[in-house]
Amino acid sequence: MAKENEETEGRKKSGLKWIVILPLILIIAVGGGIGGTILTSKFLSNEKTEAAKQSSNTAKISSKQVIVPVKKFLVNLANDGSGSDKYARVSLSLLVANSDNSKSVKKNTAVVRDSVINVLRQKKAADILNSADSIPNLKTELKDNINRAYGQQIVQEVFVTDLVVQ
């Protein structure tokens, strides 16, 4: 009988231990999860705000400037010697100084389209895709070619809104 009492007391003590330990483990786990979420969200929000500051510094558009979207281009690229034809599908938007320039671009879309097609037809797929500077260089070349065709600095910036090379 004494052994049975000792066994039941031992079971009660071990049961009490689990009743105390299990909630502590749960509290620590939940607290750690909440703390981890708060810490990571602070770090991620700092990274996002820094990225937003950098992007806001790169594209400053005044209230007088107008962005003019241009229809998609589907262009055969220059032959790269591989024997297969390569194509580029490009969508652009042009930043112009004011609404008068915007009207001029919309009225003379053939000039813009011809300029863009002439530049892209001379490019190989590797010219467009292989380096980090290829897209900025392409944008500058497009802007210069469009402005040359207009005979004045009508386009201030070219934005590539879609690019697929196949």
| SS3 assignment, position 151 | coil
Secondary-structure breakdown of the chain: helix, strand, coil percentages, each rounded to the nearest 5: 60, 20, 20
Mean of pLDDT over the chain: 84
- In the chain, domain spans: 1-58, 66-165
CATH number of 66-165: 3.30.479.30
pTM of the entire structure? 0.62
Q: 69-87: per-residue pLDDT in tens?
A: 999 999 999 988 877 889 9
The answer to whether the beta carbons of residues 120 and 88 sit under 8 Å apart is yes
Q: 26-73: per-residue pLDDT in tens?
A: 899 998 888 888 877 776 666 555 555 554 445 578 889 999 999 999
pLDDT mean over 119-135:
89
Please give the pLDDT value at position 143: 96
